[in-house]
Structure 1
Amino acid sequence: MATQSPFSWLSDAADKLRANLPADLPQALTPPPWAVQELQQRVVLFLNHVLMQEPAARERLQRQRGRSVQLHWRDQVFQCQFTPAGLLDLALADQPAKAPDLVLRVSETSPFALARTVLQGDKPAIRIEGDVQLAAEVNWLIDHVRWDPEEDLARLIGDAPAHTLVQTGRRAVSALRDFVQQRTTPKAPS
């Protein structure tokens, strides 16, 4: 006999909410430009933090200095360029426009479907335009560079508590992935 989760009501509520949302969220929900720019700057800071821990990645990116990558998702555009130090720098809107060397367009427009794809551990569908060699470097970064949250937490709270906290987080993410996979896998007729 199959048991039902005590949180099935939450799943049902999320399904109802998803069904009532329009396929393309209204323009009124688009964040203001200053908020988008602040978020993009924080993303660049985080990515640079991760790259600082990976000398091999910085060495590869040093060879790409001055080149830029532009990422498109729906109506949002994120463009950054590689610095001589092998890090990223945000290409701001008020700077003279330079054509990007590589353009990546995320094909999936639904934020729910995109989140589901990422939570399942898959890469979203992306259309690539531009320099193939630069695309290979970016793909290498995506496949090989990982953030080590345990190392960062250990600096703040010590090794043992950081290890425990990260292991708990990993179990929670694994449970969330399993839940998403169960919800998205078609059920066989009874």
Structure 2
Amino acid sequence: MATPQSPFSLLNGLLARVAAGPQPPPQWLVHEMQQRMVLFLNHVLMQEKQAMERLLRQKGRVARVQWRSWSLALLITPAGLFDLAPETAAPDLRLELSEPSALALAQGALRGDKPAIRIEGDVQLAADINWLADHVRWEPEEDLARVIGDMPAHMLAQLARRAAQALRQFVGARRAPPAQPPAAAPVPANGTDRADA
């Protein structure tokens, strides 16, 4: 016969898991997310022939992006696109995001700021990656227009821009120092506020 379990044992187990901190996601999920990121990057690159030509000069090179314990190693293919690099591949370029806070990174991205990055490795590969970051832009409205038509895509893009602007203003308002009230004019010793009294 099984012994009855205390109702507090479930609570103790839950508290122990919370105290241990967040658990890393399973490896299959990390790999799937990395594959999706590569597909998205290649989708954007294929819309910019000059970007693919720049990457073509770097074929076979590996760039590793690191943030805290997360990393993504990208191999440049002979087509001038990205693929996931083998786990054993030594990177030619390392890009490490210095900001530990995900919230601060997101706020910076909303403001259009580039994050602080520590760079080690091949200078020419770093210059080409920097050129991509400065010149290649994803145009979601064009992608949407291919699927739902020009007018609905334009309306959705306009709505998204307004929402992004509202979010930027919200973030900016939270980061701005509180407004100081105007300084009060000194009151004369006799209690009147007229200068001729």
TM-score, normalization: structure 1? 0.82
Partner of 1:134: 125
Match of 2:22 among 13, 28, 48: 28
Look up the equivalent residue of 2:177 and give its one-letter code.
P
Match of 2:139 among 128, 145, 148: 148
Please state if 1:108 is matched with 2:102. Answer: no
Look up the equivalent residue of 1:166 and give its one-letter code.
A
Please state if 1:90 is matched with 2:81. Answer: no
1:14-53 matches, within 5 Å, as: 27-53=21-47
Residues 38 and 27 of structure 1: CA distance in aligned 2, closer, same or farther (over 3 Å): farther
Look up the equivalent residue of 2:82 and give its one-letter code.
L
Question: How many matched pairs?
Answer: 163
Structure 1: segments with no counterpart, 5+ residues: 1-24
Aligned counterparts of 1:44 and 1:55: Cα–Cα separation in 2: 17
State the identity %.
Answer: 61
SS at match of 2:60: coil
Aligned counterparts of 2:123 and 2:159: Cα–Cα separation in 1: 39
Structure 2: segments with no counterpart, 5+ residues: 1-18, 182-197
Please state if 1:60 is matched with 2:24. Answer: no
Give the C-alpha shift of residue 188 in structure 1.
3.4
Which structure is richer in relative contact order (CA contacts within 8 A, separation 6 or more)? Answer: 1
Aligned counterparts of 2:45 and 2:58: Cα–Cα separation in 1: 14
Give the C-alpha shift of residue 92 in structure 1.
3.6
Residue by residue over 1:120-171, the C-alpha shift from the partner in whole angstroms, topping out at 9 and shown as x without a partner, is 1101100000011111111110111011111111111111111111111111
Please state if 1:70 is matched with 2:70. Answer: no
| C-alpha RMSD of the superposition | 1.5
